[in-house]
Structure 1
């Protein structure tokens, strides 16, 4: 599972800078950087703050964070389509 990659994907899809995500989530830019680089593992309350700030369901973030071996039994094609659909659904900045 690569939570940092998923956070970065969702942040970029929403058009948020790290500064904007930090402001919206109450986390520091340096901590978000460490998360995105995979140097820190967030706890559940931190993930909830990030998901609320990005206005995305935590299940979407977790799906996007899952590695191929964690999607065992799901075809690569289906996984890619679901990932693309999820990113499309969270879309750009709604503000």
Structure 2
């Protein structure tokens, strides 16, 4: 499971910096950096906190973090395609928010 990579993917899809995420999640920028660098394990409650700050769910982050070969009931290609679709939706949602601000 690579939760650090999933969080970084979701953050960048949202167009957020580590500082933006830290502010929204009420944690330090250095802690975000340590999480994304895989240097800190995080609790489920912290995943939920970060997911809320990213305007997504912990379940989506955990799915994206799952080792595809361990998703025994889901074809690996389908899991990859689904992850890419999630990132596209996160990016599209970010664009929609930006357009609404104009």
Q: TM-score, normalised by structure 1?
A: 0.91
- Across the aligned residues of Structure 1 and Structure 2, the Cα RMSD in angstroms comes to 1.3
Equivalent residues in 2 for 1:7-46, closer than 5 Å: 7-46=7-46
1:52 aligns to what?
52
Of structures 1 and 2, the larger Rg is shown by 2
* Structure 1: gaps spanning 5 or more residues: none
State the Cα deviation string for residues 2-59 of structure 1 (Å, max 9, x = none): 1100000000000000000000000111111111111111112211110110000111
Q: TM-score, normalised by structure 2?
A: 0.85
1:6 aligns to what?
6
* Structure 2: gaps spanning 5 or more residues: none
- After TM superposition, what 4+ stretches of structure 1 lie above 4 angstroms from structure 2? none
In 2, the alpha carbon distance for the partners of 1:72 and 1:38 equals 25
Q: How many residues align?
A: 95
Q: Which has the higher contact order (CA 8 A, sep 6+)?
A: 1
2:88 aligns to what?
88
